[in-house]
Amino acid sequence: MGKAQGNSGRAKWTFMVYMAGDNNLDGAALRDIAEMAKAGSTKDVHILVQLDRLEDQKTRRFRITQGGGFKKDCIETFSETNTGDPQILYSFVKWAVDNYPADRYALILWNHGSGWWEEAKSRATGPAGRHPQSTLALF
């Protein structure tokens, strides 16, 4: 699969977007993928997505290209997955690192954003909202 073609044989960055869209964010996930496709991957930057959808109960992996998107950029399709299972996340990250090597990596956890660092009190008293939020980890 798509290895980078830079001077060192590696991209400068690989961005991994782990999208938990198996909920009321399904449509927002498709819009965000379309937005990513406005820039798309380059020889220096890979934009990779794993999306678990509510609409058809399938999980897909993408390498987002400029002008591509959901219909054009799908590389693999799986049956339903549990995005809350750490092994599913690990599998996506391993696939990305093995197939799209880079000097640096960014992992974006995309969902409602009621993430693991929030205090229970703030989750209980404040609305989670309907807009997706992301957590970014750089390494």
Residue 128 has pLDDT above 80, yes or no: no
Domain residue extents for the chain? 11-138
pTM (2 d.p.): 0.78
Residue 77 has pLDDT above 60, yes or no: yes
Angle at 71 between CA 66 and CA 77, to 5 degrees: 115
Q: How confident is the model at residue 50 (pLDDT cuts 50, 70, 90)?
A: very high
Cβ-count burial 127-137 (b if 16+ within 10 Å, e if not): eeeeebeeeee
CA distances from 113 to 75, 86, 134 (A): 27, 17, 6
Return the CATH fold of 11-138.
Rossmann fold (3.40.50)
Could you identify the residue written with the tokens 């406005």?
Answer: 38
> Rounded CA gap, 114 and 50, in Å?
19
CA distances from 104 to 12, 24, 90 (A): 6, 32, 17
Residue 23 has pLDDT above 60, yes or no: yes
Average pLDDT over residues 55-75: 96
Say which residue, 23 or 87, is predicted with more confidence. 87
Q: How confident is the model at residue 95 (pLDDT cuts 50, 70, 90)?
A: very high
